[in-house]
Amino acid sequence: MHAWERGLATFGPMRILITAGPTREPLDAIRLLTNRSSGQLGIAVASEAIKRGHDTTLLLGRGAHSPPSTIEACCRRFDSTNDLQSLLDETFPAADLLIMAAAVADFIPEQAPGGTKMSRHDGPVQLTLHPAPDLVATIADRKRPEQTVVGFALEPGATLTKRAIEKLSRKGLDAIVANPLDTMESSHITASLIWANGKIDTAADDLSKEAFAAWLLDRLAPAP
């Protein structure tokens, strides 16, 4: 039985693993390829999980907002997709629930030879970008039956639900949070939680990320 199926009748604290914030891929010795994710939602979910007494770990991208002091102790930082993959390999086996809110790279650049710095005097530079491994799909593929894996889909509003359902099924997730693109960097969110069985829970519009975190954990990990 999945942790989320026994969710409302959970007997004790769950072991919750949350990822948040952007990956940063080196382009050369000093430059990075990254994205605008602030990590705020994952930070809010981790804060709420700790408040509820769950055993919580937050893997947070270094480019994200700093975590508040109340969650610093449960927070580990990552830079690249590869770093995040290593931390997931280490921490996921002991988790009941993974909430994968990190904005992971879709492409990893080929680095300048020898990790040197590109110079503009060398003329135009062409970047070669290789597709990144899909971390959450790999995890979902090898999870134990009682572990629950929840992904995120950040998409333009018009195609959000359709694309989120497609990602949920392609990645083999138990559920996916569908939220529109303008959530990025905003302190508020309008989102829904789509389950693998087709059920859709829709949160109230324009919740603060803290209120949305509570709404989400009511569904995934109620207080022990």
Q: How many CA atoms lie within 13 A of 156 on its CB side?
A: 2
Cα 127 from chain centre: 26
Kindly determine how many residues on this chain lie close enough to bind ligand CTP according to the rule CB under 6 A: 14
Among 28, 134, 201, 218, interactor with ligand CTP by CB under 6 A: 134
| Interaction of residue 152 with ligand CTP, rule CB under 6 A | yes
| Interaction of residue 154 with ligand CTP, rule CB under 6 A | yes
Distance, first Cα to last Cα, the chain: 17
* Structure token pair of residue 11: 């007997």
| Interaction of residue 39 with ligand CTP, rule CB under 6 A | no
User: At closest approach, how far in Å is the CB of 167 from ligand CTP?
Assistant: 5
* Residue ranges in 204-223 that form contacts with ligand CTP under rule CB under 6 A: none
Which listed range, 67-75, 98-106, 122-130, 213-221, lies at the site for ligand CTP (CB under 6 A)? 98-106
* Residue ranges in 162-201 that form contacts with ligand CTP under rule CB under 6 A: 167
Q: Residue 44, class by beta-carbon neighbours within 10 Å (0-12 exposed, 13-18 middle, 19+ buried)?
A: buried
| Interaction of residue 27 with ligand CTP, rule CB under 6 A | no
| 11 or 154: CB nearest ligand CTP | 154
Binding site for ligand CTP (CB under 6 A): 100, 102, 104-106, 132, 134-136, 151-154, 167
